[in-house]
C-alpha cells in the first residue's frame, strides 16, 4: 500500500475519533478497550 494511501486512511481515522494525532488515538483506543494496553509493551512491537 502506498504511503500516501496510509496517510489518507490515518487522517480519516483521526478525524472520526476527533483527535489530533496517533498518540491521542491510541489513548482513546485503550480507554474504549479497542486494544489491550499490555500489547503496547510487547517487545516485538515497533514504534512508527
Q: What is the mean pLDDT of residues 3-28?
A: 95
Q: Which residue has the cell 500489547?
A: 39
Confidence of residue 46 (pLDDT cuts 50, 70, 90): low
In the predicted model, what is the mean pLDDT of the chain? Answer: 86
**pLDDT at residue 23 greater than cutoff 90:** yes
Tell me the whole-structure pTM to 2 decimals.
0.65
In the chain, what is the straight-line distance between the N-terminal and C-terminal CA atoms, in Å? 16
**Quick count: other Cβ atoms within 10 Å of Cβ 13?**
13
**Domain layout of the chain by residue ranges:** 3-41
Amino acid at each position: 500500500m502506498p504511503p500516501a494511501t496510509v496517510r489518507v486512511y490515518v487522517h480519516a481515522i483521526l478525524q472520526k475519533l476527533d483527535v489530533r494525532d496517533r498518540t491521542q488515538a491510541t489513548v482513546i483506543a485503550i480507554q474504549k478497550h479497542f486494544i489491550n494496553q499490555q500489547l503496547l509493551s510487547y517487545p516485538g512491537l515497533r514504534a512508527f
